[in-house]
Amino acid sequence: MKKILSVLLILIFWLLPVFAQKASFEGIKQRQSPQNPRLGFVIHGGAGVISRANLTPEKEAEYRKKLEEAVLAGYKALQDGKTSLDAVETAIRIMEDSPLFNAGKGAVFTNDGKNELDSSIMDGKTLAAGAVAGLRHVKNPITLARAVMEKSEHVMMVGDGAEKFAKEMKIELVPEKYFWTAERWDSLQKILKEEKEAKDKKKGTVSQNEPENFLMKNPVYAQMTETEKLPPNRFGTVGAIALDKNGNLAAGTSTGGMTNKKYGRVGDAPIIGAGTFANNNTCAVSATGWGEYFIRLGVARDISAMMEYRALPVQQAADAEIKKVGDLGGDGGVIAMDKFGNIGISFNSEGMYRAFINSEGKPVVEIYKD
Ligand code: ASP
């Protein structure tokens, strides 16, 4: 009798996770509505130190306006019957052309004062993908990433070779000065100055009474949280994810990387599986944040894997992934969407520029945590 009981107990413990997983799958299925195929569209404009204290009402209005324009343009593409890839490219191009974001015009500067742009795109239907990195003259890197996916036999092209391919594809090239903006240039100068001061201080060349650096002289500094005090060398990357009328998912990301990055550094944005991933069976993801951490965790693919192997709903998978990023010491955020149009947004930074189309087909723009 005892033996039978213990065998039964073992069986129950063994089967419990299987049933739990099945129940969770059913949960996802219930949200599907084949009679009413749902279009889905979400964008982000980067995560980082964005708080009400450091964003003027005018600047905030500018961001909101541009995010709304981009999310509506992508959604319109979907309403017009275009593909999820078209919608992603459309919205990202708008943000690349705006100096507000760290992508295309307005990209941040490398340590040696250049702009080096990265981008990628992925088709959830075919798992085809295209990525580019280290571009210096391509006006819209997302369009080149898409050309790599659709018109070359490769997935990733970098530097001069990628630009040679852009020329062959007749994709618009611009002089390096096109990407220059005063705000990004000042950010680089500020960081370089702080770095130098920190170095000098270490060498003992700064007197004891002198404040640590000019940032600390600012009265606002004393009221800032520890996160706000971090150097403003990131973020502002842009990304988009879409679900079209045929149920196909797509994801894309575009960035100038991180201010003061060493020449040649490549972040997560152009790495398929880190900054961008799409699979019709699971989800589409675009990430933003401290790229080194996102690469090491394979963030976008890991979210998909959690949905595939553990049947986690998209929001839970996104939250679990951002927790992993935080536990490792990184920060940033993700936008994700499953094949039914359910949205998952998660970030551990002060804010993340983001916008999506809600279930009534209306645009919603958000910036802060609350
Ligand atoms: N993830 C980007 C990078 O590391 C930066 C960002 O998202 O702002 O290049």
Question: Could you read off the pLDDT of 314-365 as tens digits, one per residue?
Answer: 999 999 999 999 999 999 999 999 999 999 999 999 899 999 999 899 999 9
- The reported pLDDT for the residue numbered 211 is 40
90, 143, 181, 237: the active-site residue: 237
Q: How far is the CA of 365 from the centre of ligand 1 (A)?
A: 21
Which of 49, 258, 325 is the pocket-test mutation for ligand 1 (most atoms within 8 Å of CB)? 258
Q: How far is the CA of 289 from the centre of ligand 1 (A)?
A: 5
In sign, the C-alpha dihedral spanning 77, 339, 266, 112 is positive
- CA nearest ligand 1 atom 4, residue: 291
Write phi, then psi, for 41 (nearest 5 degrees): -150, 130
Q: Which is more confident, 244 or 56?
A: 244
d(CA 66, CA 311) in angstroms, rounded, equals: 35
pLDDT exceeds cutoff 60 at 224: no
Q: Which is more confident, 110 or 196?
A: 110
| pLDDT band per the 50, 70, 90 thresholds, residue 227 | very low
| pLDDT band per the 50, 70, 90 thresholds, residue 51 | confident
Cβ–ligand 1 contact at 333 (below 6 Å): no
* Two tokens, residue 180: 């220059």
Phi/psi-derived region of residue 46, left when phi > 0, alpha when psi is between -120 and 50, beta in every other case: left
pLDDT exceeds cutoff 80 at 83: yes
- The reported pLDDT for the residue numbered 11 is 56
- Read off the pLDDT of each residue in 82-109 and give the average, rounded to a whole number: 97
Average pLDDT of the chain, as a whole number: 87
pLDDT exceeds cutoff 60 at 177: yes
Q: Which is more confident, 274 or 21?
A: 274
Q: Which is more confident, 182 or 217?
A: 182
Cβ–ligand 1 contact at 267 (below 6 Å): yes
How far, CA to CA in Å, does 72 sit from each of 78, 91, 306?
10, 8, 30
Active site residue 237: yes
Query: CA 35, 305, 317 angle in degrees (round to 5)?
Result: 75
Cβ–ligand 1 contact at 249 (below 6 Å): no
Nearest CA to 338 out of 8, 31, 115 is that of 31
pLDDT (tens digit per residue) in 230-271: 544 566 899 999 999 999 999 999 999 999 999 899 999 999
DSSP for residue 368: E
| pLDDT band per the 50, 70, 90 thresholds, residue 13 | low
- The reported pLDDT for the residue numbered 37 is 60
Which of 100, 290, 325 is the pocket-test mutation for ligand 1 (most atoms within 8 Å of CB)? 290
Q: Which is more confident, 293 or 33?
A: 293
Cβ–ligand 1 contact at 84 (below 6 Å): no
What is the position in ligand 1's atom list of the atom closest to the CA of 235?
Answer: 8
In sign, the C-alpha dihedral spanning 224, 226, 230, 236 is negative
Cβ–ligand 1 contact at 130 (below 6 Å): no
pTM equals 0.84
